[in-house]
Amino acid sequence: MALLERFRDALPQVVDDIRTLVICESPSDDLAAVAASAELTAGLGARYLGREPERIVLDGRTHLRWRLGSGPRRVLILCHHDTVWPIGSLRSHPWEATDTVLRGPGCFDMKTGTVMAFHAIAALSDTDGITVLVTGDEEIGAPSSRQLIEDEARGCEATLVLESAGAAGAFKTERKGVSMYRVAATGLAAHAGLEPEKGVNASLELAHQLPSVAALSAVELGTTVTPTVLEAGTTTNTVPARGQFAVDVRVRTIAEQDRVDAAIRSLLPYLPGAQLTITGGPNRPPLERASSAQLFDRACRLAAAHRLPEPRQVSVGGGSDGNFTAGIGIPTLDGMGASGGGAHADDEHVLVAELPERTALLAALLQDLLTGSGTPAGRP
């Protein structure tokens, strides 16, 4: 049976499996919900991969790992089962499936990608060397799973990330690195009406720091440095003694990430008597285009060989766990999951018609990475 036909025939089952995961809500900050989602995902994965996963609990969060075969680790498949949607979101955003579109919290980002991975691997005649890692804290920056991800990737020839696709189904061949900071100012409280001159105004200190921080952006290099949440003061008649603002940094290169980090950490107080405290730093290194170029070219060749649509590529500002694997030098191709849109938004959706084509290309790329043949034979 031709590769694409196989996945077209399997489409009703794929949709049903996606529904199974989507209706199990799994917000990252709800440990019980993440644990329940992990068990459901483990059962679904065991059905297609032929074995139970290892359940790895770190800081109360459940991650799943399948190491297939006994040979050296060659390809890492990277997924996550947590979402940004709080418990109860199914009431306002119920599961919906038509011939063209799937809807539901987390369907696009990225429970469909996890199901695609299971079905693609199940189509292979030999899976020796594949590791599947499904984490439970990606949406909050992978605080417990980052080391696990990097350790699993080391020594692999490639990491394939089943995050949702970019616009028009494009693979994400470049992702910006992410840094997060808090700039906190400490001043001195005083009565705003009786003796304001005795205070050191933390709000005013922050007002002087904000333009300096924003000026670190370098748009021509793709670097954005954006002050976001700002808070200061306690009452309307008190000179603020404390305040802080958050900073979101996105960069295309390690050099830019280092430059911005050094500049923010070197900020000095403007007002006499004020103090600054800088916390945070780089959260994800950039996934630079060079890390994905060969894998993308390989996917293009396989798409042509299997008469599948020609892959597109896109650069995006958002980070993923693929940033971590690229950051340690492992070739990484991201955005191999669902085509659709609305990640983290009310219109989150998956395009049904593209699921067989995208799953077929994933299977072909996996087989090619393992054997060079690019032609899955299929398991009974």
165 vs 113: CA distance, rounded Å: 9
Residue that is last in its domain, among 240, 260, 284:
284
Examine the residue annotation and report whether 138 is marked as an active-site residue of this protein.
Answer: yes
Q: Is residue 378 in some structural domain?
A: no
pLDDT at position 276 = 98
Examine the residue annotation and report whether 82 is marked as an active-site residue of this protein.
Answer: yes
163 vs 85: CA distance, rounded Å: 16
* Residue of 17, 25, 82, 357 with catalytic role: 82
The token pair at 12 is 């009703």
35 and 114, same domain (yes or no): yes
Q: Is 49 helix (H, G, I), strand (E, B) or coil?
A: helix
Mean pLDDT, to the nearest integer, of 15-39?
98
The token pair at 210 is 């904000």
Mean pLDDT, to the nearest integer, of 196-220?
98
8 and 127, same domain (yes or no): yes
Mean pLDDT, to the nearest integer, of 40-48?
98
Query: Does 242 have pLDDT greater than 70?
Result: yes
List CB contacts of 270: < 8 A, sequence separation 6 or more: 205, 208, 209
Q: What is the pLDDT of residues 316-374, one digit of tens each?
A: 998 999 999 999 999 999 999 999 999 999 999 999 999 999 999 999 999 999 987 54
What is the span of the domain harbouring residue 329? 3-176+286-371
The token pair at 368 is 């090619």
268 and 227, same domain (yes or no): yes
116 and 194, same domain (yes or no): no
139 vs 130: CA distance, rounded Å: 24
The token pair at 59 is 């800081």
Task: Give the domain CATH number at 260.
Answer: 3.30.70.360
273 and 295, same domain (yes or no): no
376 vs 380: CA distance, rounded Å: 12
Q: How confident is the model at residue 2 (pLDDT cuts 50, 70, 90)?
A: confident
pLDDT at position 1 = 58
User: Helices (DSSP H) in the chain: which residue ranges?
Assistant: 3-9, 11-22, 31-49, 89-92, 112-122, 146-153, 202-214, 254-265, 289-305, 322-327, 355-371
15 and 104, same domain (yes or no): yes
**Judging by DSSP bridges, how do beta strands 332-333 and 158-161 pair with one another?**
parallel
182 and 300, same domain (yes or no): no
212 and 323, same domain (yes or no): no
Q: How confident is the model at residue 241 (pLDDT cuts 50, 70, 90)?
A: very high
5 vs 13: CA distance, rounded Å: 14
194 and 75, same domain (yes or no): no
Q: What is the pLDDT of residues 123-138, one digit of tens each?
A: 999 999 999 999 999 9
* Residue of 25, 109, 138, 174 with catalytic role: 138
Residue that is last in its domain, among 216, 249, 284:
284
326 and 274, same domain (yes or no): no
304 and 166, same domain (yes or no): yes
Q: Is residue 379 in some structural domain?
A: no
Q: What is the torsional sign of CA 40, 19, 368, 9?
A: positive
- The chain-wide mean pLDDT, for the chain, equals 96
71 vs 88: CA distance, rounded Å: 43
Q: How far apart are the first and last CA of the chain?
A: 13
Query: Does 301 have pLDDT greater than 50?
Result: yes
Residue that is last in its domain, among 267, 284, 301:
284
User: For the chain, what is the largest distance between any 2 Cα atoms, rounded to a whole number of angstroms?
Assistant: 85
Percent of the chain scored above 70 by pLDDT?
Answer: 98
The token pair at 211 is 């333009």
164 and 203, same domain (yes or no): no
C-alpha closest to that of 333 among 174, 178, 222, 176? 174
Q: Is residue 376 in some structural domain?
A: no
The token pair at 122 is 């199940």
Task: Give the domain CATH number at 349.
Answer: 3.40.630.10
Mean pLDDT, to the nearest integer, of 90-109?
98
Beta-ladder partners of 243 = 185, 232
